[in-house]
Amino acid sequence: MIADRTFGRLLLILLLTTAASAQLTVDRVVVRKKEHKLLLLSGKRVVRSYEVALGGGGLAPKRRQGDRRTPEGLYRIDYRNPASRYHLALHISYPETADKRHFRPPGADPGGDIMIHGLGPQYSWVGANHRISDWTDGCIAVTDAEIDEIWRLVPDGTPIEIRP
């Protein structure tokens, strides 16, 4: 009898947890570069937080292709790459019109292919230690397990704000 009650309680907890995560909706992503944080928000509530590695060119905003910096501004997740060499990748809609006004020198190629991505098979063994230093070419990197979760929770079209 006690075992039946315990099993019933565990089953109820499992069902409630599964239902809560199935109903989780992420409607905004915020990256805080200085803090090396990526936040998933539902309304004003932070539902997930991840530590990230950024572009190896320093924390200043991206100004041109090849500067290895992570851009700053308002963008959206505009498509996903399930065949990324970095496990999975969500593409960020950089550059937007506002970015094009700030290129140095004027008329310089802004670059592109800015993504939130994992590590991929060649670096997955590093795990969370990849965050010891910024190493990407301007992207936002998380572990493979973290990009799996972000991939499931963040639909295409989701706004992303990348802050200093």
Instruction: For residue 8, give every residue at least 6 positions away whose Cβ sits within 8 Å of its Cβ, in sequence order, or none.
Output: none
Q: Is residue 21 part of a domain?
A: no
Task: With respect to residue 13, please indicate whether it lies within any of the assigned structural domains.
Answer: no
Is the pLDDT at 49 greater than 80? The verdict is: yes
Report yes or no on 11 lying in a domain. no
Would you say residue 10 lies in a domain? no
Domain that holds residue 102: 26-163
Query: Does 131 fall in a domain?
Result: yes
Domain tally, the chain? 1
Average pLDDT rounded to a whole number, residues 65-71: 95
Domain contains 4: no
What tens digit of pLDDT does each residue of 86-97 get?
999 999 999 998
The CATH number for 154's domain is 2.40.440.10
Angstrom distance (rounded) from CA 142 to CA 53 = 7
Cis peptide before 105 (omega within 30 of 0): yes
20, part of any domain: no
What's this model's pTM, rounded to 2 decimal places?
0.84
CA distance 102 to 129: 34
SS3 category, 70: coil
Is residue 161 within 8 A of residue 33, CB to CB? The reply is no
pLDDT tens digits, 107-136 = 778 888 999 999 999 989 999 999 999 999
Helix (H) or strand (E) holding 13: helix 2-22
Does 89 fall in a domain? yes
pLDDT at 155 over 50: yes
